[in-house]
Chains A and B, each alone.
Chain A
């Protein structure tokens, strides 16, 4: 095959996100993987490569443990971790194997089992102060910096990312951020796979417990368990499969992974914008899809403040106009470009390794016209975005088959 030929999603599946005390990590990964294989009408024997994304068991041989449950066929396994972009990185890994001509078909699975993990980032047991001070690390610190020199925990970091947007642009404040959460919770009521499915009024969102202003309890995503998987196939191989498989196949028009380039201030406040803009621009250029062509977007709303910024980063609104865009209902499911009709991370959940695959499941299911009650009418093309702090960003553009 030529590496200009498209790669296709042949099958996809995800578990409902939630908390599974009665299942282990591999049960969840097996459920999503077998679901994706069945959906694509293929088996493990057809797979040439497997990529497994899991953050908290990154050194745990998750891919090989999964094979013991669904088929030990001896194919190469790549266990990947890339913060919250872990799942998208597993997909990219299989994409690259197919593009390189080393595989015709492959399985990418993302999985995480977090339970009630609490807030992430910087919340390690504080270094005991009962000691003799001694400089440690690259900052030569003698005591823990969390809470002394600002916050590095996720709710605060993303609150600051949002407030920085408010600093740079007019018409953005607590209310605009809260509207994001109001929208995604409302959307989630239609998604049977979402961890939470409850609508809240804007007053309830703004009046709930403040975690890190302006993010309240209802403006941050939960931790949880879950898995999602895709089977990818080369263009050449797809054409040998059944007409039904070809009809349901979803074209991957762009698959981009970026990291954060140096920008002013990035040493103290992670820049979640530049790498997202870079990934989106490359994806639009590669696919020839214009933001105005998008029928839906699944983006990384780990916190409501983050989603608002990404309207701008993904070029869904006028530059600087994200506040105005949500005020006029642009990202609602009946708006200009529906964003997070799944309920997003805020309601659907965010089992980290699974997230960057689950957003592909969501977009693929819509462009196939198989999304049931939450179907975006006549969706043909959609974009999936994921970002992990550190940082790593994945953007995929998916299109209806047309075959």
Chain B
């Protein structure tokens, strides 16, 4: 007989904060890759900006890469905790992505150009129904 007073142990349902982040046991990014020239896009495109072709195939991108450029934002947009590290990462096997470098001190001595990083996810917000929005960042591979 069901005990109606028992706590609900179901994990809270989660949603990725952007569609190109796929969750599950192995979170990863999925890009729209142009069938003609292989350029990758994270957003929906009507045609390829590089070659004009109109067909795209969703493809998984690598979770590892290296820091191509970064900045340490001290004066941030309203409501955004600072300081934090924003970076562009060159992904292994192709594709370039922008996100935060996480799990690192936001200090010029701790973040270096060319640093090896890997994708990591975290809960960034919860809606009124208890659904958690999951964001991704990159953490030092050495950590």
**Docked-complex contact A126 and B78, CB < 8 angstroms:** yes
**Docked-complex contact B77 and A213, CB < 8 angstroms:** no
Q: Is A242 an interface residue (CB 8 A)?
A: no
Q: Is A153 an interface residue (CB 8 A)?
A: yes
Distance A223 CA – B13 CA, assembled complex (angstroms):
44
Q: Select the stretch in A56-64, A133-141, A368-376 that faces chain B.
A: A133-141
**Docked-complex contact A160 and B71, CB < 8 angstroms:** yes
**Docked-complex contact B80 and A150, CB < 8 angstroms:** no
Partner of B69, one of A129, A139, A143, A160: A160
**Docked-complex contact A150 and B88, CB < 8 angstroms:** yes
Chain A, residue nearest B99 (CB): A149
Instruction: Enumerate chain A residues within 8 angstroms of B80, measured Cβ to Cβ.
Output: 126, 146-148
Instruction: Enumerate chain A residues within 8 angstroms of B114, measured Cβ to Cβ.
Output: 167
Distance A215 CA – B72 CA, assembled complex (angstroms):
9
Q: Is A132 an interface residue (CB 8 A)?
A: yes
Instruction: Enumerate chain A residues within 8 angstroms of B53, measured Cβ to Cβ.
Output: none
Q: Select the stretch in A33-41, A181-189, A204-212, A359-367 that faces chain B.
A: A204-212
Which residues 239-266 in A have Cβ within 8 Å of B in the complex?
262, 264-265
Q: Is B125 an interface residue (CB 8 A)?
A: yes
Distance A267 CA – B76 CA, assembled complex (angstroms):
22
**Docked-complex contact B17 and A141, CB < 8 angstroms:** yes
**Docked-complex contact B70 and A163, CB < 8 angstroms:** yes
Q: Is A269 an interface residue (CB 8 A)?
A: yes
Query: Contacts A139-B43, A265-B96: A123 and B78 contacting too (C-beta < 8 A)?
Result: yes
Distance A143 CA – B98 CA, assembled complex (angstroms):
16
Q: Is B36 an interface residue (CB 8 A)?
A: no
Cβ of B64 to closest chain A Cβ, rounded Å? 17
**Docked-complex contact B131 and A167, CB < 8 angstroms:** no
**Docked-complex contact A126 and B79, CB < 8 angstroms:** yes
Q: Is B128 an interface residue (CB 8 A)?
A: yes
Distance A141 CA – B81 CA, assembled complex (angstroms):
19
Distance A153 CA – B73 CA, assembled complex (angstroms):
10
Distance A167 CA – B68 CA, assembled complex (angstroms):
7
**Docked-complex contact B97 and A125, CB < 8 angstroms:** no
Instruction: Enumerate chain A residues within 8 angstroms of B129, measured Cβ to Cβ.
Output: 132
Category for how many chain A residues contact B: 35 or more
**Docked-complex contact B73 and A163, CB < 8 angstroms:** no
Q: Is B87 an interface residue (CB 8 A)?
A: yes
Q: Is B133 an interface residue (CB 8 A)?
A: yes
Query: Contacts A122-B77, A126-B77, A212-B73: A133 and B86 contacting too (C-beta < 8 A)?
Result: no
**Docked-complex contact B77 and A143, CB < 8 angstroms:** no
Q: Is B15 an interface residue (CB 8 A)?
A: yes
**Docked-complex contact A149 and B100, CB < 8 angstroms:** yes
Which residues 1-50 in B have Cβ within 8 Å of A in the complex?
15-20, 39, 41-44, 49-50
**Docked-complex contact B81 and A147, CB < 8 angstroms:** yes
Cβ of B123 to closest chain A Cβ, rounded Å? 11
Q: Is A145 an interface residue (CB 8 A)?
A: yes
Q: Is A130 an interface residue (CB 8 A)?
A: yes
Partner of A129, one of B41, B71, B84, B127: B127
Instruction: Enumerate chain A residues within 8 angstroms of B76, measured Cβ to Cβ.
Output: 147, 151, 153
Query: Contacts A132-B131, A139-B18, A210-B72: A146 and B108 contacting too (C-beta < 8 A)?
Result: no
Q: Is A174 an interface residue (CB 8 A)?
A: yes
- Chain A, residues 111-131, CB within 8 Å of chain B (1/0): the string is 000000001001111100111
10 CB < 8 A contacts A-B? A151-B73, A153-B76, A160-B70, A210-B72, A210-B74, A212-B74, A262-B50, A265-B68, A267-B41, A268-B98
Closest 3 CB pairs of A and B: A140-B19, A147-B80, A159-B71
